[in-house]
Chain A
Amino acid sequence: MSRPISIRKALLEWRLYLFIIPSILFVGTFSYFPAISAVYHSFFDWQGGDSKQFIGLANFKKIGGDTVLWASFGTIGILVVANVFKLIPSILMAVLIHRLKSDKWQYWYRVLLVVPMIVPGLVTLFIWKFFFDPNIGVLNQVLDATGLKSLLVMVDSFFKWGIFQDGMPVAWLSDPNLILPSLIIWGFPWIGAVGVLIYLSGLQAIGTEIYEAAELDGAGSWQQFLHIEFPLIMTQVRLSLVLMIIGTLQGFGLQMLLLGTSGGPEGRGMVPGLWMFNKAFVAGEFGYACAVGILLFVFILGLTYLNNKYVRVDK
């Protein structure tokens, strides 16, 4: 760790700090000011604009009895757990690319992964919306073509779910029982370009001598992954986990596009971010929405802390 320099020494290079000031100003204005403003407004009955009434902790007390909000935390909990598993394909993909002998092919695989990133996120969301279309969507067509639909109908009739029926297209987004599975299926095969590149950077830092030693010890591919590669990319995994938790808890664009602001049938797709949006832009309760935002911030902070504390990193 580098030693801190004295204030006197630091001030000698005062001109350098001038270069940082614009960045600090922008970050302060566009990142910190809105956040501080949200904290301030969470203590008000505020409907947007300049008129507001101070109500102390009333918004936070209201949160206590907000059944929709707490139910939405249940939904987000399931999505966070599912997203942890959805990190696995990216890790495996990174390992496979890393193990390619040819540098040229490694390069082309990386390019192929990055190319889809050019497609705007909204387009991807619309394509997935089309996948879920019950009548002409790709998902139902694949289920029909592969015979998986018949299998699902069989399983359904055994467990008496009443979801998959012969002759009826699967209504992915209009059956409350299928809302969560749809949100989890979204993004299949869950290979995120950013994730793969992050893991690759970690994998490339592993020295060849470690692999050579492992091979001499008779370690197979799987053992190399389990005992060498995975532990040594834990820094990257931890970073991915933090980004994923933040993204999942904050995000609501997918739910809003697929299910609307009410969260779809029986509100099964309602997540805290969507509820915050609903309260602000549908009900016009901006003050309450700010309070929900503060609660979300606390949750994210807590989960990030737990993640950093308990996800062990081997140096």
Chain B
Amino acid sequence: MKWDREKFLNSIGFLLLAACFAYSLVKIAQRRSAEQDKSVTTIRFAHWQLEAGTKAALDAVAAEYIKKHPKVKIDQILIPERVFATWLTTRLVGGNPPDLVALGFGITDDRMARYFTPLSEEVVKPNPHNAGTALEDVPWRDTFIDGLASAPGLFNLFEYYGIPCSMVTTRLYYNAPLFEKVTGSKVPPATYEELTEVFEAVRVYNEKGGNLVAIAGSKYNSPVLMNALFAAQTQKLNLELDRRRVMRFAGAPYPAFFDGSFDLFSPAIRSALELSREIGKNMPQGFLSLAREDATFSFVQQRSLMIATGSWDVQSLRQESSFEVAAIRFPLPSRQNPQYGAYTLGPGSEAETGGAVNFGLTRDAPNPEAALDFLKYLTSIEGNRIFSEKSNWLPSIVSVPVPEAIAPFAPVSEGYPSGFILEWTGGPEVKRIYENAFHRLVRPDGGVDQFLEYFEPRYAQAMVLDMELTIKNGLRTLSMQDTTWIALRALEQGGDPRSGAKAASLQEVQAIGENSYYSRRYDLDEFEKKRKTAK
């Protein structure tokens, strides 16, 4: 047969396509055949923790679990946080979610109640994977450092929906050798006053020909520090507003705004905004348009001296930096500070630091029992130790030691309750107008007045819209529990006394929830009446 070069060249594309197609076909067939093996149970869990070491750590826990349960396969689904909410919403609405999902992006109380299984009955039983340890007979809930006090769903839905496998704290990381070079000292700042001295040292360093930014900024990293400083300025105000003594971050101003006891003209708010502006001056110009990776690059390339982020980044930053990375708690204004001291109580306590990487069990989970068992293993002493050691993330279980590498990140309980931040006083509308207005606060020719000029006229309407949404969603979520209540009552009438007790408990929870939402409705209606009269 005669060699036809043109024919051969023309068929390359087709052959490539056919090869790719055949490869995909084989891969899919292999996967399908594995799935159809009824003796193997596949657990899938999804999260957005793409930081260095996290995936490997979770894989290590899964491998250890599989050793004990050879007929189980565990798939980790990694979705970037930028698209996690969209991805999850689509999966939940479409009715094909993974077994376990990290709760956070894209999760509201309403969605939690609708798409996830409450674990309240499970958390009061001991974790079987703690057998033979000091926690053998301890209820699962009490094996967590925070006693699951911050578990997703508990505050508004009165049910446990999420189980944390870690805890996170936020810190100010700095380039240790560069810090010494710029400031002439090895001692990091402990207060805001000392931090301003570092800013001054950076300015002097730049005057001598340096090109250094004090704090790497981005729309992801900057709020980490700014929020901490803002919350330090609203500590006293929060205690005044928090009549129920909930002591929760951002919890108090929401009702207080509607009964007229909180507005944006409070001196503490102005002071907090001033402080945010001060900090913003030491971040790169236009940092609001920069992403997390831009700030990270700036820090690891030694263009910035410091960066504010959480304990979740410690492994990544240490791996990517060619210098020693150290971390400190945020230097906050002391009570003696003439400008900012009047509104602060003192260093904030991290006792309210809740669990992180909270996994929830989806209602449509293909293998709920197996997934729940894996979750229990992940939060057992053994599983959580493996996770913490391999990832350098803080453990969430009481008896698990904090790895030495992350000792500076262990939560510090001593201190005062935190204040709130403006962005979180409402819901999505408040957050949106805050983001729209924020550039006015930090731009060189901006200021607090310019910020309030845009934000304040829109704030009331945004709060009203957010409150309406909260009430609507809350009542709908509670009404969804009616079906469960009816079912429990039916079981009780069929002779099951345990169901009767559960029904009574659920009824009580619903009554508390409804009372809370109708009281908010009343506050909102009164507020609207006053607004109309004022107009």
Q: Which residues of A contact B (CB under 8 A)?
A: 45, 47-49, 51, 129, 132-135, 162, 165, 168-169, 171-176, 258-267, 278, 280-285
Which B residues are CB-close (under 8 A) to A45? 472
Which A residues are CB-close (under 8 A) to B108? 284
A45 to B435, CA, bound (A): 27
Which of A168, A266, A280 makes the CB contact (< 8 A) with B285? A168
Contact A174 B93 (CB under 8 A): no
Question: Does B73 have its Cβ within 8 Å of any Cβ on chain A?
Answer: no
Chain B residue with minimal CB distance to A47? B110
**Size of interface on B: residues with Cβ below 8 Å to A:** 41
Which B residues are CB-close (under 8 A) to A280? 89
Which of the candidate stretches B166-174, B192-200, B258-266, B436-444 sits at the interface with the other chain? B436-444
Which of B89, B436, B440 makes the CB contact (< 8 A) with A262? B436
A168 to B114, CA, bound (A): 50
A281 to B454, CA, bound (A): 25
* List of 5 A-B pairs having minimum Cβ-Cβ separation, nearest first: A134-B286, A171-B286, A173-B289, A265-B439, A262-B435
Which A residues are CB-close (under 8 A) to B427? 283
Which B residues are CB-close (under 8 A) to A171? 285-286, 289, 443
Contact A174 B428 (CB under 8 A): no
A163 to B92, CA, bound (A): 45
Which B residues are CB-close (under 8 A) to A48? 89, 92-93, 111
Contact B85 A265 (CB under 8 A): no
Q: Would you give 10 A-B contacts (Cβ < 8 Å), ordered by A?
A: A45-B472, A48-B89, A129-B291, A133-B289, A133-B290, A171-B286, A263-B436, A281-B89, A283-B469, A284-B469
Q: Which residues of B contact A (CB under 8 A)?
A: 85-86, 89, 92-93, 106, 108, 110-111, 114-115, 219, 284-291, 294, 427-429, 431-432, 435-440, 443-445, 454, 469, 472-473, 476, 480
A312 to B164, CA, bound (A): 64
Chain B residue with minimal CB distance to A162? B445
Contact B285 A175 (CB under 8 A): no
Contact A47 B473 (CB under 8 A): yes
Contact B289 A134 (CB under 8 A): yes
Q: How far is the CB of B450 from chain A (nearest CB, A)?
A: 11
Which A residues are CB-close (under 8 A) to B289? 132-134, 171-174, 258-259, 264
Given A260-B435, A283-B429: 4 more A-B contacts, CB < 8 Å: A49-B114, A162-B445, A171-B289, A174-B288
Q: How far is the CB of B433 from chain A (nearest CB, A)?
A: 8
Q: How far is the CB of B339 from chain A (nearest CB, A)?
A: 26
Chain B residue with minimal CB distance to A135? B284
A134 to B294, CA, bound (A): 11
Contact B110 A284 (CB under 8 A): yes
Which B residues are CB-close (under 8 A) to A175? 286, 439, 443
Contact B473 A284 (CB under 8 A): yes
Which A residues are CB-close (under 8 A) to B428? 278, 282-283
Residue from A133, A165, A263 whose CB has the most chain B CB atoms within 10 Å: A133
Q: How far is the CB of A164 from chain B (nearest CB, A)?
A: 12
Q: How far is the CB of B447 from chain A (nearest CB, A)?
A: 13
Which B residues are CB-close (under 8 A) to A169? 285-286
A28 to B480, CA, bound (A): 34
Q: How far is the CB of A275 from chain B (nearest CB, A)?
A: 10
Which A residues are CB-close (under 8 A) to B291? 129
Q: How far is the CB of B113 from chain A (nearest CB, A)?
A: 10
A49 to B362, CA, bound (A): 14
Contact A51 B219 (CB under 8 A): no
A129 to B291, CA, bound (A): 10
- Contact A265 to B444, CB < 8 A, known contacts A49-B92, A281-B85: no
A134 to B443, CA, bound (A): 13
- Contact A172 to B286, CB < 8 A, known contacts A49-B115, A262-B432: yes
Which A residues are CB-close (under 8 A) to B437? 266
Which B residues are CB-close (under 8 A) to A165? 444
Contact B285 A134 (CB under 8 A): yes
Contact A262 B431 (CB under 8 A): yes
